[in-house]
Homo-oligomer: A and B are copies of this chain.
Amino acid sequence: MRKHNFGAGPGILPESALQKSAAAALDFNNIGMSILEISHRSKDFDAVMIQTKSLVKELLGVPDHYSILFLQGGASTQFAMVPMNLLHKKAAYVDSGVWANKALKEARLFGEVDVIASSKDKNYSYVPKGYQIPGDCDYLHITSNNTIYGTQMKNFPESPVPVVCDMSSDIFSRPVDVSKFDLIYAGAQKNMGPAGVTLVIIKNDILKEVQRVVPTMLRYQTHIDGDSLYNTPPVFSIFVCMATLEWLKSIGGVSAIEKINQAKADLFYGEVDSNPLFTGTCEKEDRSNMNACFLLKNPELDEEFMKVTKAAGIIGIKGHRSVGGFRASMYNALPIESVKVLTQVMKEFALKTA
C-alpha cells in the first residue's frame, strides 16, 4: 500500500519513475549492467543526459541562449555559487523565509547585500510586495516558494537588474517565463527527482570575470564548458529526474499539472477554511500550492490528529519547528486522492471532536 506522502522533501515521486528507476538499478536498457555501475562517459548515459536536458528545455520552455546544468550540493551550495560568480559590488535580496535568509547571509560573505524587502516581521507569513529594486545592484535574488512557511510568489517582480530565483520547491509545478530570469536553481528533491542533484538554468551571457578566487567546481563556467560532465555527475539521480519529467510530459506538462495542483490546493485550503478546528498560517493571497501550513486552533488536539492521520496512511504532515502545527506538501506527484483522504480525515476529526 502506497502511503499518502505529504512530506516536504525529499517528496513523493510518480510511481512510473520509481518503477523505471528500480528496473534500471538492476539492469539498464538490457545492457547487462546497472545504471549504478555504468560510466558517465558511456553512450547509454549520454542518452540520459540529452533526454533529461531536452525535457527540462521543453517543459519549461527554456530559450536557446540558456545552459541547463545538473550539479551537486543542493540549493545550499547555490547560495554560495550565486554571489561568488555574480556579486561584484552589491546584490538585492528579498528575505521571504528561512532559505531566502540563508541565501542572503551567504551572499554577505562575498559583498554588499541590500535586503530590499522582508516578511520576517510576521514570521514570514506573507510574500513581500511593492518593493523598489535598485538599478545599481548586480542582481536580485528571490525565492519563488517558501517551503517552511507555505507562501508562494504568485507574480514575479519586474526587475531592472538580472533576476536569480531559487525555485527548489515549486519548479515544474506551473508555467514560468524563463526568459524573465537570468539564473534559476532548484534542488531536485521536490518536483523533479530525488535528493543528490541540483538543476541550474543560466543565461549564458550573465557571467563576467570576477575578482575573487572561485574554486573550479563552484564556477558556473566550468560546468557550462563541461556540459555538466566536468567531473562524474550523479548518474542515477539524473536518471530519476528524467523518469519523473517523462511522467510530467506524459500527463500534459506544466500547464496540465498547474491545473491539478490548483485543484488540490483549492480542495485543501477549502477544508482548512471551512473546518471549525483548523486555521491557515499565511496570508490567503500568498498561500503556496505546494506547501500548505495549517494549525489546530486547539493545539491540545495535535497529538490525536497526528494519530488519526497516521491511521489513514498519511505521512509527513508534521509542521516545521519554525511554524509548528502541520504542513501538507502537495507536490506534483501527490494524487488528488491523497488530498481527499486528508480532508476527509479532517472532516471526521471535526465531527468526532465537536
Which chain A residues have a beta carbon within 8 Å of chain B's beta carbons? 1-3, 5, 7-13, 18-19, 21-23, 25-26, 31-34, 36-40, 72-77, 79-80, 84, 106, 109-110, 187, 189, 193-197, 213, 215-218, 230-237, 240, 313, 315-316, 333
Contact = CB atoms under 8 A, between A and B. Distances in A.
Contacts of A76: 216-217, 230-231
A235 B333 CA distance: 19
Given A196-B236, A217-B77, A218-B80, A39 B72 contact: no
A76 B10 CA distance: 26
A232 B33 contact: no
A interface majority secondary structure: loop
9 smallest A-B Cβ distances: which pairs?
A196-B234, A80-B215, A3-B32, A72-B72, A76-B231, A22-B25, A36-B194, A22-B22, A22-B26
Contact of A215 (B106, B187, B236): B106
30 contacts: A1-B32, A2-B32, A7-B38, A8-B39, A10-B40, A13-B37, A18-B25, A18-B36, A18-B37, A21-B36, A22-B23, A32-B313, A33-B315, A36-B193, A36-B240, A37-B333, A39-B316, A72-B72, A74-B232, A76-B216, A76-B217, A76-B231, A79-B217, A194-B235, A194-B236, A195-B236, A196-B233, A196-B235, A196-B237, A215-B218
B9 A232 contact: yes
Contacts of A194: 36-37, 235-236
A322 to B, nearest CB: 14
Given A217-B80, A236-B236, A39 B25 contact: no
A88 to B, nearest CB: 15
Given A25-B21, A72-B72, A231-B76, A109 B1 contact: no
Contact of A232 (B22, B25, B195): B195
Contacts of A333: 37
Nearest to A21: B25
B36 A232 contact: no
A49 to B, nearest CB: 13
A316 to B, nearest CB: 7
A2 to B, nearest CB: 5
A74 B72 CA distance: 9
Given A32-B313, A80-B216, A7 B37 contact: yes
B22 A10 contact: no
Contacts of A189: 232
